[in-house]
A and B are shown apart, each in its own frame.
Chain A
């Protein structure tokens, strides 16, 4: 129904256009600042249309508009102005006042600042970049747009939470590394944004340096992302906007070159293993004719699909003299590219702003309610590194395409019962069929409710002194129903083995509720003295409290006749006569977290030429005790607006600002992203448990470490902002971040009952440079072309680690003065031309066929990219527009275990192979990169870097073409603006990585859920 709606509108458009006729004229004017200096580069836009121009060097503009229309003039750092077009063709000079109040654009966290007067490193992305893109989470739309912000998505499952956002390098080893998200002034617990409607977002600002983040002292160490949602404006009529996007999601390409059924059977015959070697008459090798007649299945068609994606938003905004409101309704739906995965979301936002007639009292309320339902594979929530799962080809459908023999026929599978009757217990031979059953009959659905509510109010006590409060709640409820349906193969297998064959199946239901409150109160003093000295000082307190509740149960044994997922029907009751059958387990947990802070900020400006900012903050965390409970964080920042100096007058560099800041911020989420993890490490605790012989037990569950404390990140930053020749805009920042007292498991003697004790130990350094440049190549009446690029380099080093080399699993290590999470592997040397075995280097660099663990060496490579960035262009011509956004990451390494499986000679006969095996070593082909299919030592690959691959990539992340219907065509319709467009996400990728998707936040994957390629079409209408 919804998609039909979209198309109906598109059709109507063509109709309306014919009825409209031109009544527009050319209007000219000048924009000046409060010192009566021209303002070049200001945006002039006809309200309610997409018709807009920029002022020239003299602040002049000319634009097509009709009498009675309103022109909105905006410029960064200045208050917006609205003027009405009269009968004439010129309008009086428009005076833009630079503002330090809410009209400013540089969001510095607790306040906003006019851009020329901002001392700090901030990058802001506006709504245009986010709207209408078919990403479940708006965060994904930011990828490659903000220098220094690395966004990597580990799963393309709709609504996946596996997105990592890291700003300016890793800030912690085992603690939280994600930035703090602040939505409309309220810090949020969000671990994902799947239930937030991205179309409601007005702007996203990324605060990077200490000058900006230190005032978020207790949570700001990894940077801060400030999200502002759309609001109405005062004195404006009702505006209705509809936007709809419909598209298709498809699988990205891979380059594994999987063998066809015939190729594989031939290889098996050669190897003497598998059907090719035994599938002939009387278990003899198959003949060429038999091989040619064998099936050839493309399992991609079974395990992946093309999905449909839709996004509809309807918003209303209006304002009277003293109030304004913005209300939006959203519906989003996306099918995953794996069958039986999808998300549906409905959302409502209502933002209200009001003020008293004397403008002394201001208040806002924001309400957001979102509800999403998604079906996910169980793999999504089970760790990729969990060997019992990720590598378990029998239970991970994401590997299905790469682990299913091409000469098997998918029609063999009918249902779970038939599969059990034909194949019995799980075995590799049943791999594809088990996975087909798994996708069909393992039920895993989540329902998530998200409520964000906040309000703020301020009152001007005097002209200079303002008091304000701001409070908000963030509530998330997540319900999961997981079931092995009674008809599923796995349920039948377990039931047959477990002695309850009549009632196979199990169901788990779980609910989590997460509630947090954040409130602050502030007193702000702002005074301009002698026209040149501006003082802005604030005192604030902040209070944060969060509550978590979870419970769930699992019941085994389902009656297939009455069972329906989540309904509670069909549960088989427990019977004392069969104590080991139909057991139910229940669980529950409850946690609290809290923070309290008071802090002050002081800013001084001299004539918009020099500025100084200072902040100091005292924070208490519930995690720490005694002397460690309170942390003090501070920052000092300054700037010099060189463009304001006499010697710069007349320069082609119209804006030039030098910024610098230094300061500290803290991280108390030492247990990861969750505010609840590791809540009481300072205390020794006992737990009641299930002890010996399943009798009750009592055990020490946690050693006390009263020394646990804040991780403190200090950061120094120097930046330059400039505009050259009105055409080139840019920002360059260099920084050094140094995190002290890293929270991690520090080795202790086993006499303590454990090898690692959670402690603060060691430091980590991130140094980097980042730049953002935009160049208006063509600026004209009809044609505009802007190119932009950004990039960053970050060098990560560990310092003062508790041990020289701390191993993380078998192939990663943490060492001093080396990059964090460095790979530590045996070096693969190629193929021994004399016998086809794999060759490795031992620790001394000598060739060996039998490498050992001691031959591993540090590689300098890690799964965290060193370089990242993006570039793109925007062009428009008479209402047509096109833009493209490329993103890249470089110097990032991951293990390609899928390739390893496809090149593993010991898997021949059991699993598919890559055609790479056709060039495997033979006596006639001694110089090759693929060991013999009879190689005896490929087990050594496990510790080697043979499959450690460069997953750098360059990707056309986003491309769009569209058309803004000129307003003259719309005058006589009820529409004020019409835009139609087509867009593509993840359209093209250049990479050496051979798998589906080089992008991931994990060091290795098995199969994995690639992020989809999405083609979509959209329409945007305003009434």
Chain B
């Protein structure tokens, strides 16, 4: 019994003295600390891969299609997107929230990479030092272009007036924000400040064009940088600059960048291949790949796949379809799925919603890879440069030049040539209409209506009455405040500095 006593005392003493650090000083297996994460060029490449991977296109495309006049409520709709279709956009709108966050996340990742690159020290005595330096510059160039692009995406949706440099833009984020508990809260900068910042990044990129020489269209190539500058200039109304950049972009491909040899009868065409992703190099300046495991853009409109059986909760608006039918070109054949239910008597048919289902086929799914919901996101196509060129020509009073430019595109798509424009408004209208068809479901219509609607004499969204009447949502003037998205409630909640800077109307 004496022994037991001793054992007990020993146990207690041991319990008291034994350092039990291991119970609460725990590093989980596989933790990868921030300060050692990016130390080599290989690490930078890995981080860049993640910057690219976070560039989003799906939300912009989905929102634009349902909020404007590209899509309508489909027969399988169980409440999906009704708010947006009915123009019910408030500060807590999910699209506003995700477009804002997605872009700032990309910016955050790019800034992390750019700042961490200071830790990547190259050996100046190494044989391949020059190659390494070139590689490092390439990575930084791509990161900075993506950072500029993301800022511009934000401006496109959240700035009230891109043509006004003193209007409020978005938050200018040129650094990695400090960590908790010292969280940063930053106000919006002006458009002018943001464009200056974007220009810096793009200037840097242009200086280092050569590093991008080996990039394919799924990465940033020099023409994307020029094309982006053209788009920025056009949106800002700086048309001479836009024209120059658009022309330079087209010059790079030594031609027009558009597929040729389209016919109205052939079952498969090169143009169709652009959308099925069997032909990913044509037409495209920059495209984001969406292989297996990544977000599926087809899910913007369908539950299971791009066909009538695939559960279309949104279908093509009758007004866009009628426009495609009127022009009766390649685009009608490529953008509308064969499984569509087309009611001849759509103006009178009894159960219109179920009898007239125009199945969107711009994103038919990547059937070659058995991915029915996935297609690459076309961030920018050469055809947009033609349109920018036409806009610039109209802005400069060159209606004939604009007609030529537009008809050039129409000819490639096997549409009939338009007759001469009688006035600038008619020309703007033609450009807007052409953009509506050609760039449908690519996230352009929202900003296009805002930019060009008034010039083109288009008063607002152009929805077919039987599409929109049940939802009391037939009219939204292009001057409506909702053509600028609200600063998301999520941002206002977390950022006191921006609370007084909400966009008008919200």
Interface size class of B (residues with CB under 8 A): 35 or more
Contacts of A684 in B (CB 8 A): 33-34, 179
Q: Which of A428, A687, A704 contacts B179 (CB 8 A)?
A: A704
Contacts of B97 in A (CB 8 A): 755
Contacts of A690 in B (CB 8 A): 293
Contacts of A700 in B (CB 8 A): 34, 37, 108-109, 112
A785 at the interface (CB under 8 A from B): no
B32 lies within 8 A of A596 (CB): no
Q: Which of B53, B82, B83, B88 contacts A691 (CB 8 A)?
A: B53
Within 8 A of A (CB), among B481-495: 488-491, 493-495
A174 at the interface (CB under 8 A from B): no
Within 8 A of B (CB), among A707-753: 707, 746-753
Q: How far is the CB of A803 from chain B (nearest CB, A)?
A: 4
Interface of A is mostly: mixed
A272–B79 CA distance with the chains assembled, in angstroms: 21
B28 at the interface (CB under 8 A from A): yes
B180 lies within 8 A of A686 (CB): no
Q: Which of B181, B185, B307, B489 contacts A707 (CB 8 A)?
A: B181
A972 at the interface (CB under 8 A from B): no
A705 at the interface (CB under 8 A from B): yes
B52 lies within 8 A of A705 (CB): no
A751 lies within 8 A of B177 (CB): yes
Within 8 A of B (CB), among A584-629: 590-596, 598, 620-622, 629
B107 lies within 8 A of A692 (CB): no
A536–B90 CA distance with the chains assembled, in angstroms: 63
A596 lies within 8 A of B8 (CB): no
B52 lies within 8 A of A692 (CB): yes
Within 8 A of A (CB), among B1-49: 1, 4-5, 8-9, 11-12, 15-16, 20-34, 37-38, 43, 46-47, 49
Given contacts A596-B20, A693-B218, A704-B34, contact A425 B90 (CB under 8 A): no
Q: How far is the CB of B498 from chain A (nearest CB, A)?
A: 8
B460 at the interface (CB under 8 A from A): no
Contacts of B33 in A (CB 8 A): 683-686
Q: How far is the CB of A391 from chain B (nearest CB, A)?
A: 7
Contacts of A802 in B (CB 8 A): 493
B164 at the interface (CB under 8 A from A): no
Q: How far is the CB of A324 from chain B (nearest CB, A)?
A: 20
A499 lies within 8 A of B370 (CB): yes
Within 8 A of B (CB), among A839-865: 850, 852-854
A622–B26 CA distance with the chains assembled, in angstroms: 6
A424 at the interface (CB under 8 A from B): yes
A521 lies within 8 A of B24 (CB): no
B11 lies within 8 A of A469 (CB): yes
A696 lies within 8 A of B49 (CB): yes
B4 lies within 8 A of A687 (CB): no
A753 lies within 8 A of B108 (CB): yes
Contacts of A803 in B (CB 8 A): 493
Given contacts A688-B46, A697-B53, contact A620 B24 (CB under 8 A): yes
Contacts of A853 in B (CB 8 A): 83, 88, 90, 92
A687 lies within 8 A of B173 (CB): no
B15 lies within 8 A of A541 (CB): yes
Given contacts A580-B292, A703-B180, contact A751 B472 (CB under 8 A): no
> Chain A 269-284 against B: per-residue CB contact (8 Å), 1 yes, 0 no?
0001100000000000
Contacts of A754 in B (CB 8 A): 101, 105
A919–B384 CA distance with the chains assembled, in angstroms: 56
B108 lies within 8 A of A593 (CB): no
Contacts of A699 in B (CB 8 A): 47, 50, 109
Q: How far is the CB of B114 from chain A (nearest CB, A)?
A: 13
Considering the complex, give the chain A residue whose CB is closest to the CB of B15: A521
Contacts of B489 in A (CB 8 A): 807
A22–B398 CA distance with the chains assembled, in angstroms: 121
Contacts of A3 in B (CB 8 A): none
B171 at the interface (CB under 8 A from A): yes
A858–B171 CA distance with the chains assembled, in angstroms: 32
Within 8 A of A (CB), among B169-192: 171, 173, 177, 179-181, 183-186
> Chain B 453-472 against A: per-residue CB contact (8 Å), 1 yes, 0 no?
00000000000000000111
A598–B180 CA distance with the chains assembled, in angstroms: 31
B401 at the interface (CB under 8 A from A): no
Contacts of B22 in A (CB 8 A): 545, 594
A427–B351 CA distance with the chains assembled, in angstroms: 19
Within 8 A of A (CB), among B185-240: 185-186, 218
Contacts of A76 in B (CB 8 A): none
Given contacts A755-B490, A757-B180, contact A590 B289 (CB under 8 A): no
B335 at the interface (CB under 8 A from A): no
A697 lies within 8 A of B49 (CB): yes
A754–B180 CA distance with the chains assembled, in angstroms: 13
Given contacts A750-B105, A854-B90, contact A692 B50 (CB under 8 A): yes
Contacts of B293 in A (CB 8 A): 690, 694
Q: How far is the CB of B425 from chain A (nearest CB, A)?
A: 34
Contacts of A596 in B (CB 8 A): 20-21, 23-24
B26 lies within 8 A of A698 (CB): no
Within 8 A of B (CB), among A954-981: none
B43 lies within 8 A of A698 (CB): yes
B369 at the interface (CB under 8 A from A): yes
Given contacts A467-B12, A684-B179, A802-B493, contact A698 B104 (CB under 8 A): no
Contacts of B181 in A (CB 8 A): 705-707
A545–B20 CA distance with the chains assembled, in angstroms: 10
Contacts of B49 in A (CB 8 A): 691-693, 695-698
Contacts of A497 in B (CB 8 A): 305, 370, 372
Q: How far is the CB of A843 from chain B (nearest CB, A)?
A: 12
Considering the complex, give the chain A residue whose CB is closest to the CB of B21: A596
Considering the complex, give the chain A residue whose CB is closest to the CB of B218: A693
Contacts of B354 in A (CB 8 A): 273
B369 lies within 8 A of A689 (CB): no
Q: Which of A459, A594, A685 contacts B32 (CB 8 A)?
A: A685
A467 lies within 8 A of B310 (CB): no
A749 lies within 8 A of B491 (CB): yes
A679 at the interface (CB under 8 A from B): yes
B149 at the interface (CB under 8 A from A): no
A752–B179 CA distance with the chains assembled, in angstroms: 9
Contacts of A852 in B (CB 8 A): 88, 90
Chain B CB within 10 A, most for which of A680, A706, A746, A748: A748
Q: Which of B53, B309, B372, B472 contacts A427 (CB 8 A)?
A: B309
> Chain A 927-963 against B: per-residue CB contact (8 Å), 1 yes, 0 no?
0000000001101001000000000000000000000
Q: How far is the CB of B99 from chain A (nearest CB, A)?
A: 10
B304 at the interface (CB under 8 A from A): yes
B100 at the interface (CB under 8 A from A): yes
Segment of A313-321, A326-334, A355-363 engaged in the interface with chain B = A355-363
Given contacts A358-B1, A751-B107, A757-B180, contact A686 B34 (CB under 8 A): yes
A780 at the interface (CB under 8 A from B): no
Contacts of A755 in B (CB 8 A): 97, 101, 490-491, 493-494
Contacts of A541 in B (CB 8 A): 15-16, 20
B1 lies within 8 A of A685 (CB): no
A854–B86 CA distance with the chains assembled, in angstroms: 14
A497–B293 CA distance with the chains assembled, in angstroms: 16
Contacts of B29 in A (CB 8 A): 590-592
A873 at the interface (CB under 8 A from B): no
> Chain B 324-367 against A: per-residue CB contact (8 Å), 1 yes, 0 no?
00000000000000000000000000110010000000000000
Q: How far is the CB of A683 from chain B (nearest CB, A)?
A: 7
Apart from A593-B26, A756-B494, 14 more pairs, CB < 8 Å: A273-B354, A590-B28, A620-B23, A683-B33, A686-B32, A697-B46, A697-B50, A704-B179, A747-B495, A749-B491, A750-B494, A755-B494, A806-B493, A807-B489
Closest 7 CB pairs of A and B: A691-B49, A747-B494, A594-B23, A747-B493, A698-B46, A686-B37, A692-B52
Query: Can you list 11 residue pairs at the A/B interface with Cβ under 8 Å?
Result: A426-B304, A459-B5, A497-B305, A592-B26, A620-B24, A622-B25, A692-B52, A698-B38, A700-B109, A755-B490, A802-B493
